[in-house]
Amino acid sequence: MTSPDIHFEQQGAVAIVRLARPAKRNAISDGLIGAIRDVFESMPQGVRAVVLDGEGDHFCAGLDLSELTDRDAGAGLHHSRMWHAALETVQFGPAPVVAALRGAVVGGGLELAASCHIRVADETTFYSLPEGSRGIFVGGGGAVRIPRLIGEARMADMMFTGRVYDAKEGERIGLSQYIVPPGQAFAKAMEIAQRVAKNAPLTNYALMHALPRIAEQPADQGFLTEALMAAIAQSAPEAKERVREFLEGRGPKVKKT
């Protein structure tokens, strides 16, 4: 877990992974994508939620364009598959990931953010897919994940026209689930991660691993997968204890905010 491009820290059950190339706006080099894969693959036991942050004023400027030299088609294919493998470790890794967004969330930076489970944006955040205007295509899983957040038409428009969404619009269309004042994304992401870390592990597992698969299944298969996951989750001793706590007046009530 030693890469100069990434900082790792653990605070109790929450791990903090921070992209650390601020001079290059956290552009993702081959070294950095490898470091992202390594850090999620070797997450210490006991980590129950992760905050993904970027050093400096920008979350991530996407692919490091200085490395986009004259790769041939085969090398391009393997490069994209390397990104896929790395971002799968984020999406299907050991714990839910909360992204703390600010400034540029563009190109591969948006693909990275889309592989996280919850996105918190501060008001300086802006989103773009400049691949369209650079004559290239997304290659980090964005064509699969981004339409699931905002729909295919909006993603195509972003790439056809170079459209940039600001933080407020981004929240409205589903690029982030939370929006906070400038400079507060990390604090809010930590608060959310600490809350998520308290869930029963099987609940978080179901949300990370079953829900996205169910969403892809035909309805009749999805209903069956849901029932199997529900049966497994409710049979855990922790689930039974949490339900008992509520029935005995010790568990939290749902409160209107």
Active-site annotation, residues: 111, 131
Task: Give 2: exposed, middle or buried? Use CB within 10 Å, 0-12, 13-18, 19+.
Answer: exposed
Q: Tell me the closest approach of the beta carbon of residue 105 to ligand 1HE, in angstroms.
A: 9
Q: Tell me the closest approach of the beta carbon of residue 221 to ligand 1HE, in angstroms.
A: 31
Contacts of 45 (CB under 8 A, 6+ apart): none
Q: Tell me the closest approach of the beta carbon of residue 88 to ligand 1HE, in angstroms.
A: 13
9 versus 30: smaller Cβ distance to ligand 1HE: 30
Angle at CA of residue 28, ends 27 and 31, nearest 5°: 130
Positions touching ligand 1HE (CB under 6 A) are: 24-25, 27, 58, 61-66, 83, 104, 106-108, 130-131, 134, 138-140
Instruction: Give me 187's structure tokens.
Output: 């604090």
Longest dimension (CA), the chain: 66
Q: Based on C-alpha coordinates, what's the Rg of the chain? A: 19
138 versus 192: smaller Cβ distance to ligand 1HE: 138
13 versus 85: smaller Cβ distance to ligand 1HE: 85
Task: Give 9: exposed, middle or buried? Use CB within 10 Å, 0-12, 13-18, 19+.
Answer: exposed
Q: Tell me the closest approach of the beta carbon of residue 58 to ligand 1HE, in angstroms.
A: 5
126 versus 186: smaller Cβ distance to ligand 1HE: 126
